Structure 1
Amino acid sequence: FDKARQAAPCVLFFDELDAIAKSRGGSAGDGSGVTDRVINQILTEMDGIDAKKNVFIIGATNRPDIIDSAILRPGRLDRLIYIPLPDDESRMAILKTSLRKSSVAKNVDMDYLTNVTEGFSGADLTKICQQACILATRESIEKKQQRIRPTTMDSDEPAPVPEIRGDHFDEAMKFVRRSVNNNDIREYELFAKTFQRDFQGFSTE
C-alpha cells in the first residue's frame, strides 16, 4: 500500500482475495489470530487511501461466501461485479488466443470446439489447448523415431512440425473436465442476487 501511494496513480490487484480476507473469527486452527490481524491491517490501509491518492483497489475471488463483509462496505471494495463463465464469443476468443502460437490444421472446426466447451472456464479452455498441443508434439516425435532406420547413424533429422488436428482436441477433452459444475454456477448466481439486493454498487456487467 505504501508503494502504491508513492506510485499513484496506480491499481492494486488482489487475486484470490479470499486467501487473505476470510471472515474474521472463523479461521480454524488460527489460534494466534494472524488472519484477523491481516484483515484489520488491510481495512486500515484501505481507509487510509482517499480519492485524491488515485489508488484503485481491485480484488478477484471465486469464494465470495467467505469474504469478510467489512471489505465490501462503501469506500472499500464497494462495487461488486459478477463475471459469469465465458459465453460463445468469449470462448472462441480464448481458444484463438491460446492457440495463436500453435500450428492448427485448417480443417479444425473452431465453431464446433466453441459449442462443445459450453460451461468451461477460461482455465479449462487453456488446458484443453495445451493438452492438444502435447498430443500433437508427442505424435510428431513418434513419427520421427519410426522414420529413422536402425542402421542410420544420423538421428539429427528434424521432427515434422506438429500440427494440431481435430482428433487431438477430441482426445484432449477426455483429460480435461469442467472445473465449475452446475451446482457451483447456481451458487454463484445466488450470491449475485444476494449482493445485488444488499449492495447498491453491484453490477453484472
Structure 2
Amino acid sequence: LLYGPPGVGKTLLAKAVANEGSANFISIKGPEVLSKWVGESEKAVREIFKKAKQVAPTIIFLDEIDSIAPRRGSSGDSGVTERIVNQLLTSMDGIEVLQGVVVVGASNRPDILDSALLRAGRFDKMIYIPPPDADGRLKILNVHTKNMPLDAKVDLQRLANISEGYVGADLENLVREAGMMAYRKDQNASKVSQEDFMDAMKVIKPSVDEDVLKFYNNVSSSMGKSMRDRRKDVEVSGL
C-alpha cells in the first residue's frame, strides 16, 4: 500500500514497478468501481482480478482505495462499500492461485481504510511516499523544463530550495504557469525568466504544509504500531 499526500507520485511509482518487472498494468480509480446498481460494484472487482489473471504477470493498481474500502460501518451508503470490501478481501485471499498477480493500492487517507485490508497476505506492506526534498524537487524541475527555453539567469537550484512543500504535481503546474507568465508579459518572449518563476510561485501554492506533514507522521506512527501489534498476535497464536 502506497500512501502519502496527493500529487507525490504514487501512481508513477506503481507504473515504474510494473515497467521494471515487465508486467501488465491494470489501473483502477476507486470511484470508477462504484455503481448505483446492486451487485455491479462487486462484479467489477471480480472482473478486474479475472482479467489480471488472464494477462499475468500483472500489477493491479487500486488508486484512491480509501473511497471504496473505508472502515466497514462508517460510510452510511446502504452497505455498498461493505460489499466491495468483502469482495476485495475474497479476491485478495485468493491471490495465491492468481499466479503472477500483485496488488498495489494507493491512498491519501490510509487511516480510514478497513483494518482487514491491512492484514497478512493483503496490504501488509505499507510504504509512505513523502513530498520530495530539495534534491528531488530539482530533478522534477529539470524534467519539466527540459524542453522549455530558459533565460541564462534561471536558477533551478534556488527554485528547488525555496519550494518546500511542493509535490511533483505542484512543480509541474509551476513550470507551466511560469511559461504562461512569460507569454502574458510578452507574446513574443523567447525565454522564461527567473522572475516568471517567482511570479508563478505567487499563484501556484504548495500542497503540503506543516499540518499535512504532522498528519502523515502521526498516521505512519499509529499504523506502524498497529501492524506490529497484529504480527505479535499472529506469532502468539502460532499461526
TM bin (shorter chain)? 0.7 to 0.9
How high is the TM-score relative to the length of structure 1? 0.82
- Report the Cα distance in structure 1 between the residues aligned to 2:87 and 2:182, rounded to whole angstroms: 50
SS at match of 2:104: strand
Residues 1:8 and 2:56 are matched in the alignment: yes
The one-letter amino acid paired with 2:205 is R
Deviations 1:14-67 (A, max 9, x none): 222212111111113x1x211111111111111111176111111111111111
Contact 2:164/2:206, CA 8 A, preserved across alignment: no
- Report the Cα distance in structure 1 between the residues aligned to 2:157 and 2:141, rounded to whole angstroms: 10
Aligned length: 180
How high is the TM-score relative to the length of structure 2? 0.71
Trace 1:171-190 onto structure 2 (pairs within 5 A).
Answer: 171-190=199-218
| Equivalence for 1:157 | none
- Report the Cα distance in structure 2 between the residues aligned to 1:173 and 1:94, rounded to whole angstroms: 16
Name the structure with the higher strand share: 2
- Shifted more, 39-48 versus 130-139: the winner is 130-139
Trace 1:45-124 onto structure 2 (pairs within 5 A).
Answer: 45-50=91-96, 53-124=99-170
Deviations 1:81-120 (A, max 9, x none): 1111101111111111122222121210111101110121
The one-letter amino acid paired with 2:193 is R
Q: RMSD over aligned Cα, in angstroms?
A: 1.6
| Equivalence for 1:198 | 226
- Report the Cα distance in structure 1 between the residues aligned to 2:180 and 2:88, rounded to whole angstroms: 42
- Report the Cα distance in structure 1 between the residues aligned to 2:147 and 2:227, rounded to whole angstroms: 43
Runs (4+) off by over 3 Å? none
Q: CA deviation at 1:174?
A: 0.6
- Report the Cα distance in structure 1 between the residues aligned to 2:154 and 2:110, rounded to whole angstroms: 38
Q: In 2 relative to 1, CA 48–135 (structure 1 residues): closer, same or farther, beyond 3 Å? A: same
Name the structure with the higher helix share: 2
